[in-house]
Amino acid sequence: MKRCVIVGGAPIENYGRLRQALSESDYLIYCDGGLRHRAGLRREPDLIVGDFDSHPDPGLPAETIRLPREKDDTDTVFAAREALRRGFRDFLLLGVFGGRLDHTMANVSILLALDKKGASAAAMDEYSQLSVVSPGHPAWVPDTWPYFSLLAIGGPARGVAITGAKFPLTDGEITGEYQYGVSNEPLPGQTARITLREGSLLLVKVERDWI
pLDDT at residue 173 tops 50: yes
pLDDT tens for 54-74 read 787 888 899 999 988 877 889
Domain with residues 4-126, CATH architecture: 3-Layer(aba) Sandwich (3.40)
Do domains 4-126 and 132-206 share one topology? The answer is no
Question: Cβ(73)–Cβ(107) under 8 Å?
Answer: no
pLDDT at residue 210 tops 70: no
d(CA 172, CA 159): 5
Mean pLDDT of 35-58: 91
**Nearest-5° Cα angle at 177, 74 to 195:** 80
Amino acid at 131: S
At residue 18, φ and ψ (nearest 5 deg) are -70, -40
d(CA 209, CA 86): 38
d(CA 37, CA 168): 39
Of 145, 131, 98, 147, residue with least CA distance to 200: 131
Sorted by where each begins, the domain ranges of the chain are: 4-126, 132-206
Question: In sequence order, which residues have a C-beta less than 8 Å from that of residue 130 and are 6 or more positions away?
Answer: 97, 108, 111, 122, 123, 124, 202, 203, 204, 205
Mean pLDDT of 20-30: 97
Amino acid at 1: M
pLDDT at residue 106 tops 50: yes
Amino acid at 108: V
d(CA 148, CA 171): 19
Of 193, 111, 201, 194, residue with least CA distance to 156: 201
- Domain 132-206 sits in CATH 3.10.110.10: no
pLDDT at residue 211 tops 60: no
pLDDT at position 54 is 78
Mean pLDDT of 37-47: 97
* CA distances to 33, 144, 185, 195, 198 from 140, in Å: 33, 11, 12, 9, 18
At residue 31, φ and ψ (nearest 5 deg) are -105, 105
